[in-house]
Structure 1
Amino acid sequence: MIVTVIGLIRFGFSLLFGVVISVLLSGIKSTRKNKFIISFICIYFLFVQFVSWWILGLDLTSKLYPLIIHLPMIVILSLYFKCPWHISAISVLTGYLCCQVPRWIGFLAGAAFDSKIADHVFYIITVFLAYYLLKRYVVKSVRQLMIKSPKSCLLLGGVPLFYYIFDYVTAIYTNVLYSGAEWAVQFMPSTISVFYFVFVILYYIETQKQADFQRERDMLDTQLRQAKTELESLRQIQQYGVAYRHDMRHHLALLQGLASKGLIDEIKEYLKTAQSDMDAITPMRFCENETVNLIISSFAAKAKQWEITLTVDVKLPNLLTFTDTELCSLLSNALENAIHACQNIADISKRYIKLRMYSKNSKLCIDIRNSYQTEPVFHQGLPVSNEQGHGYGTKSMAHIVEKHGGIYQFSIKDGLFIFQATA
Structure 2
Amino acid sequence: MTETIIAFSRYFIVLLFGTAVAVNFAGMKRTRKNCIAAGCLTVVLFISQVACLNAWGMELTVKLYPLLSHLPIAVFIVVYLKRPWMISLTSVFASFLCCQPPRWIGTALGEVFGSVSVNHVGYIAAAFLIYLFLRKYAMEPVRHMIERSTSSCLLFGAMPAFYYLCEYAFSVYTNFMYSGARVAVQFMPFLTSTFYFVFVLLYYTETQKQANIQREKDILDSQFKQAQKEFESLRQMQKTAASYRHDMRHHFALLQSMASKGNIEEIKKYFLTVQSDLDAITPVRFCENETVNLILSSFASKAKQSQIQLTVNAKLPASHPFSDTELCSLLSNALENAIHASEQIPDISMRIVDLRMFSKNNKLCIDIRNRYQNEPVFNHGLPVSNEEGHGFGTKSMAHIVEKHGGVFGFSVKDGWFIFQATT
Please report the TM-score for the alignment, with normalisation by the length of structure 2. Answer: 0.65
Change in CA separation of 1:296 and 1:101 when aligned onto 2, cut-off 3 Å: closer
Q: Deviation per CA, 1:53-106, whole angstroms, max 9, x where unpaired? A: 001101110011112221122122112221111111111111111221111112
Q: How does 1:82-121 map to 2 (within 5 A)?
A: 82-121=82-121
- Counterparts of 2:106 and 2:49, CA distance in 1: 21
Change in CA separation of 1:16 and 1:278 when aligned onto 2, cut-off 3 Å: closer
Question: Does the 8 Å CA contact 1:227/1:328 hold for their aligned counterparts?
Answer: no
How many residues were matched structurally?
337
Secondary structure of the corresponding residue to residue 175 of structure 2: coil
- Counterparts of 2:69 and 2:394, CA distance in 1: 57
- Counterparts of 1:115 and 1:335, CA distance in 2: 77
2:312 matches 1:298? no
Structure 1 vs Structure 2 CA RMSD: 4.5
Q: How does 1:311-330 map to 2 (within 5 A)?
A: 329=325
- Counterparts of 1:19 and 1:260, CA distance in 2: 90
Q: Report sequence identity in percent.
A: 40
Match of 2:192 in 1: 192
Ranges in structure 1 where 5+ consecutive residues have no aligned partner:
262-266, 285-292, 313-326, 348-370, 375-385, 397-409, 412-423
- Counterparts of 2:262 and 2:202, CA distance in 1: 80
- Counterparts of 2:51 and 2:138, CA distance in 1: 34
Letter in 1 for 2:142: V
Letter in 1 for 2:294: S
Match of 1:230 in 2: 230
Question: Does the 8 Å CA contact 1:17/1:127 hold for their aligned counterparts?
Answer: yes
Match of 1:51 in 2: 51
Match of 2:359 in 1: 345
Secondary structure of the corresponding residue to residue 43 of structure 1: helix
In the TM superposition, residue 331 of structure 1 has moved relative to its aligned partner by 8.0
Secondary structure of the corresponding residue to residue 157 of structure 1: helix
Question: Does the 8 Å CA contact 2:226/2:329 hold for their aligned counterparts?
Answer: no
Secondary structure of the corresponding residue to residue 88 of structure 2: helix
2:7 matches 1:10? no
- Counterparts of 2:63 and 2:266, CA distance in 1: 114
Match of 2:388 in 1: none
Change in CA separation of 1:346 and 1:177 when aligned onto 2, cut-off 3 Å: closer
Match of 1:27 in 2: 27
Letter in 2 for 1:343: M
Change in CA separation of 1:272 and 1:310 when aligned onto 2, cut-off 3 Å: farther
Letter in 2 for 1:91: S
Question: Does the 8 Å CA contact 1:345/1:373 hold for their aligned counterparts?
Answer: yes
Question: Does the 8 Å CA contact 2:219/2:395 hold for their aligned counterparts?
Answer: no
- Counterparts of 1:122 and 1:309, CA distance in 2: 78
Change in CA separation of 1:343 and 1:276 when aligned onto 2, cut-off 3 Å: farther
Q: Deviation per CA, 1:239-271, whole angstroms, max 9, x where unpaired? A: 55444956564699599655799xxxxx7x998
Please report the TM-score for the alignment, with normalisation by the length of structure 1. Answer: 0.65
In the TM superposition, residue 279 of structure 1 has moved relative to its aligned partner by 5.4
Question: Does the 8 Å CA contact 1:228/1:328 hold for their aligned counterparts?
Answer: no
Question: Does the 8 Å CA contact 2:93/2:161 hold for their aligned counterparts?
Answer: yes
Q: Deviation per CA, 1:17-69, whole angstroms, max 9, x where unpaired? A: 11111111111112222222212211110111011100110111001111222
2:199 matches 1:203? no
Change in CA separation of 1:279 and 1:53 when aligned onto 2, cut-off 3 Å: same
Question: Does the 8 Å CA contact 1:23/1:91 hold for their aligned counterparts?
Answer: yes
Change in CA separation of 1:88 and 1:251 when aligned onto 2, cut-off 3 Å: farther
Question: Does the 8 Å CA contact 2:330/2:396 hold for their aligned counterparts?
Answer: no
- Counterparts of 2:138 and 2:151, CA distance in 1: 20
Change in CA separation of 1:346 and 1:149 when aligned onto 2, cut-off 3 Å: closer
Change in CA separation of 1:102 and 1:233 when aligned onto 2, cut-off 3 Å: closer
- Counterparts of 1:235 and 1:124, CA distance in 2: 67
In the TM superposition, residue 156 of structure 1 has moved relative to its aligned partner by 1.2
- Counterparts of 1:227 and 1:29, CA distance in 2: 40
- Counterparts of 1:220 and 1:137, CA distance in 2: 33
Match of 2:138 in 1: 138
Q: Deviation per CA, 1:195-253, whole angstroms, max 9, x where unpaired? A: 22222223233333333333333333333332233233324444554449565646995
- Counterparts of 2:224 and 2:113, CA distance in 1: 70
Q: Deviation per CA, 1:255-295, whole angstroms, max 9, x where unpaired? A: 9655799xxxxx7x9989976874563369xxxxxxxx985
Letter in 2 for 1:74: A
Letter in 1 for 2:359: I
Change in CA separation of 1:74 and 1:238 when aligned onto 2, cut-off 3 Å: closer
